[in-house]
Structures are given as structure tokens and as C-alpha cells.
């Protein structure tokens, strides 16, 4: 599913990226600044709504984690916290 990297490409999963919508699942991940960011950008570029739940993402680098959440929130998606 991840094609050898952490980025999940919607376009590469099916000839009709909209058909992939039902297969998108939220889950915990440790690299907000890499995997989560690239997946969010990919979804945004394919006109999907982007929601990142802060309890489900994190990073070993707190600064990069926070920068990524600020980048996503209000620009390409919505960041949701408790």
C-alpha cells in the first residue's frame, strides 16, 4: 500500500482516485513531519478534505511536528485536537 515509502499516493492506488476514498483510514503514525504531511498534501491535491487528529500523530522531533501541524491547519486542511 505504501509503495516502498511512507507516502501513500491516491493516484497510484487506482485509475479512479475517488474510488479510493472508502479505503482511507486514520491511524497513529510517528512521523508527522514526513509521512503525515506528504499524505495530507497528496489528498489535498486530489481535492479530498484533509483532517489531522493531533492525538493520532506525533514525531521524534517536536519542532518539525508543530511546524507541520501549523502548515496543514487552515492551508490545506483542518487540525483537530481534544
d(CA 1, CA 6): 9
Q: Residue 70 contacts by C-beta under 8 Å, 6 or more apart in sequence?
A: none
- pTM of the prediction? 0.68
Name the residue range of residue 39's domain: 10-80
For residue 68, being part of any structural domain is answered with: yes
For residue 65, being part of any structural domain is answered with: yes
Tally the domains of the chain. 1
For residue 25, being part of any structural domain is answered with: yes
* Span 12-60, pLDDT tens digits: 555 555 555 544 545 555 678 888 898 889 889 988 889 888 888 888 8
Instruction: Quote the distance between the C-alpha of residue 3 and its chain's center.
Output: 16
For residue 64, being part of any structural domain is answered with: yes
For residue 27, being part of any structural domain is answered with: yes
For residue 3, being part of any structural domain is answered with: no
d(CA 43, CA 10): 7
Amino acid at each position: 500500500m505504501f509503495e516502498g515509502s511512507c507516502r501513500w499516493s491516491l493516484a497510484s492506488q487506482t485509475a479512479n482516485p475517488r474510488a479510493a476514498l472508502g479505503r482511507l483510514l486514520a491511524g497513529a503514525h510517528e512521523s508527522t513531519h514526513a509521512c503525515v504531511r506528504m499524505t495530507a498534501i497528496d489528498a489535498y491535491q486530489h481535492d479530498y478534505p484533509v483532517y489531522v487528529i493531533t492525538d493520532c500523530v506525533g514525531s521524534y522531533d517536536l519542532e518539525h511536528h508543530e511546524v507541520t501541524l501549523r502548515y496543514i491547519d487552515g492551508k490545506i486542511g483542518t487540525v483537530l485536537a481534544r
